[in-house]
Amino acid sequence: MSRLPSEFAELEPFVEEWALENERDRFVKLTATSIETLREFYDAVVPRAGEIADYLNALDLGDLPDDARTLFHMLITFVETAHPIDLNWATTDIEDAFPAERFGFGEVSRRPAILPAARDRTDP
């Protein structure tokens, strides 16, 4: 069973590794990934990014079905990790950048970018 809407089934191989729910996980993924691996993901998503955004924009963000929520997280990961490719970097991290281990991700950065659909929540 696909975890993405059928229109985007060809991106299914990237779900496990790239549909990351929160900012901290996306940052860690970016800095721990080789430029070659990032390029594979980038090359698969960039031609479909506009279509993905259009598809998601037609839905209610507060009530996304599971497959659309997964697609949303994949697109957010793409947006937050594309810059090394866009800027023709040789690596996904910069040597003299602020040390990643000193970043402090607050509670908001560790939460999913969007919560499960209201119909799936059990909180009051």
What is the tens place of the pLDDT at every residue in 47-91?
999 999 999 999 998 889 999 999 999 999 999 999 999 999 998
Q: In this structure, what are the phi and psi dihedrals at residue 8, rounded to the nearest 5 degrees?
A: -120, 25
Task: Tell me the percentage of the chain whose pLDDT exceeds 90.
Answer: 60
- Distance between CA 78 and CA 101 in Å, rounded? 22
Residue 101 confidence (pLDDT):
67
- Distance between CA 52 and CA 84 in Å, rounded? 21
- pLDDT of 111 above 80: no
Query: What residue segments make up the domains of the chain, in order of their start?
Result: 14-93+104-120
Structure tokens belonging to residue 12: 């299914």
Residue 124 confidence (pLDDT):
47
Residue 13 confidence (pLDDT):
97
